[in-house]
Chains A and B, each alone.
Chain A
Amino acid sequence: MVPTNRLLWILCAFSLLSLLMIPAPSYAESVLAKIERTGQLTAGVREDVAPFGFYDKNSNWVGFSVDVAQSLAGELSKKFNKPIQVVKKSVNSKTRIPLVVNGEIDIEIGTTTITLAREETIDFSLPFFITGAKFITHKGSGIKEVGDLAGKRVGVAQGTHHAKNIEMAVSKGLIKSKCEIVQFEDHAKGFLGLTQGKVDAYFTDESQLFGQKKKAPNPGDWVIVGPFLSYEPYGFILPQNDSPWRDFVNAFLVHLIKSGEFYSLYDKWMGPKSEVPMPMSEDYQYYLKVITFPE
């Protein structure tokens, strides 16, 4: 028994030591200086969230985020007076923060909600998109408003705040009795569970619901039920404490809105004639005006 025991302790010590070696170094250099040196802007983009970042019919990686990254690279080219290439890296909700923290990507342009807890680890740009969570359900489910969800099974994705949002709606009395919350690994599996009848409704950001509905065989069978039960302002993820880079990105966003290019990009990907129409809420339109700061 004695030699086995000692071996176990040595193994434990080694596994603990290896954990201490995980931290990845990041350069003290500003991202701006790095972009100028390498001539490349490395942007983290989603590949599964239409219309932000997704594969179109011809298997091209396109979307609102991709166009914003191109536009940002254009602005950088003007600043440094040399061509800056966009290098797209695929991110998901689990990898987007670690990749910014370890310096793999300079910016994440996706669908990340700004939260104070997240601000402790990384920085965010100004919000560029405002949405909130709603329910999606089959049109024959009998669920017409949030109150009808009492006692129903509701799907949410892991890694989101949405389970908490539903509990809050219950405690506020918007939903009269507790819902049974069913977790799914991601939105795709959650929507699969909804179409199979595993849950009566699925709950997430409205912007994601539009994309999932679009992918369904019969989009008309699915209805989105409001009102917003959460507030989700999306921002670009930026490395912590890199003020020159954050200022540059924020100025870029303000100019994008002022020049009207932001609205044409929005129209291209989310306008009435786009594949995934998402009408701009009044609050969102007002917000965009608020951040048109003077020069």
Chain B
Amino acid sequence: MLEEGFPEQAIRESDCSVLNYTFDWSVLWREPYGELLLTGIFTTIHLSLLAWVLALVVGILVGVARVLPNHLTRLVGFSYVQLFRNIPLLLQLFIWYFVLPLLLPRPAQSWLYRNVPDLPYFMSVVGLGLYTASRVAEQVRAGLASCPSGLYEAASASGLSTFHVYRYVILPYALRIIIPPFTAEFLTCFKNSALAMTIGVMETTGASYQIDSLTYHGLETTTAASLVYIAITLSVVLFMSWVERRVWLHGMIGRRS
């Protein structure tokens, strides 16, 4: 963008400006950086998967709790979702790792630091999992709300207990409906795992920053990290569309895509 009165010489120079930077892609596999990046990628994958399993279990329980005909469970579910959904994940991770352990008595703290191997990793799984659970819970609630009330009535009328109504009739129906938004949450879970870097977990982003600061080839490492996330999330998309086809029931979710 040229402004009026911009010195002519400077314009000429900016026209023939060159990038004063030499690309060196070998930092991605060269000793010892390759191992660092690879470990980072595996950390991203198992950290996110563990967090996602935790999110599914807690999220489905909380989501169901929010629609049960019981004031107490509804209140608990509501509070859970509002608490975990409304604090930035970055702060939640800081709180899990730096603040919550302080509430324990001093000996318990030292026990925790001494005996839990890789505490930052553990706290990231818990923090990311419980945060994602609040979002999963909302999707589950939406799925449950979309079940026609006739379904609840018919199931109850056939003599099933509340637990069995949910276990055998409502949840199998609702969970299928919410597979597409679930996919989105699953992807977000992978991308949010990058924040674990802030409490010292060397996952993909952390590893790419580390290589950057050791070699100053940040363009290469950030490009590589971006491609890794794209590859992971595309695999998740393919996996989830397979799941969607696998659990498809005739006449349920529109046409088979």
Residues of chain A whose beta carbon lies under 8 Å from any beta carbon of chain B: 1, 4, 8, 12, 15, 19, 22-29, 37, 93-94, 97-98, 101, 117-118, 120-122, 153, 158-161, 164, 182-185, 189, 192-193, 196-199, 239-241
Contacts and interface: CB of A to CB of B under 8 A. Distances in A.
Contacts of B202: 158, 183
A1 B237 CA distance: 12
A27 B219 contact: no
23 contacts: A1-B257, A4-B257, A8-B234, A12-B230, A23-B19, A27-B10, A27-B17, A28-B18, A117-B214, A117-B215, A118-B216, A120-B22, A120-B24, A120-B215, A158-B200, A158-B213, A159-B212, A182-B119, A183-B201, A183-B202, A183-B206, A192-B98, A199-B113
A120 B218 CA distance: 13
Counting from the closest, the 3 A-B pairs by CB-CB distance are: A159-B213, A25-B17, A183-B200
Interface residues on B, range: 35 or more
B16 interface: yes
B20 A197 contact: no
B210 interface: yes
Nearest to B216: A121
Nearest to A23: B19
B230 A15 contact: yes
B223 A19 contact: yes
Interface string B227-257: 0001000100100010000000000000001
Contacts of A184: 200
B218 A196 contact: no
B49 interface: no
A231 B116 CA distance: 33
A256 B218 CA distance: 34
Contact of A25 (B14, B110, B230): B14
A29 B13 contact: yes
B82 interface: no
B143 interface: no
A28 B17 contact: yes
Contacts, number: 108
Contact of B219 (A23, A122, A159, A193): A23
A215 B128 CA distance: 32
Contact of B209 (A101, A118, A158): A158
B162 interface: no
B216 A117 contact: yes
B209 A94 contact: yes
A81 B219 CA distance: 40
Contacts of A37: 7
B79 interface: no
Given A27-B14, A28-B17, A120 B237 contact: no
Interface in B170-207: 197-202, 206
A98 B19 contact: no
Contacts of B223: 19
A27 B14 CA distance: 6
Contacts of B230: 12, 15
B13 A28 contact: yes
B237 to A, nearest CB: 7
A120 B7 CA distance: 32
A158 B216 contact: no
Contact of A94 (B19, B119, B212): B212
A287 B102 CA distance: 46
B119 A198 contact: yes
A153 B114 CA distance: 8
B22 A159 contact: no
Interface string B104-138: 00000110011000011000000000000000000
B101 interface: yes
Contacts of A27: 10, 13-14, 17
A158 B21 CA distance: 24
Given A23-B219, A182-B200, A199-B113, 14 more contacts: A12-B230, A19-B226, A27-B13, A29-B13, A94-B209, A94-B213, A120-B216, A121-B21, A158-B202, A158-B210, A161-B214, A183-B200, A183-B202, A192-B98
A101 B20 CA distance: 7
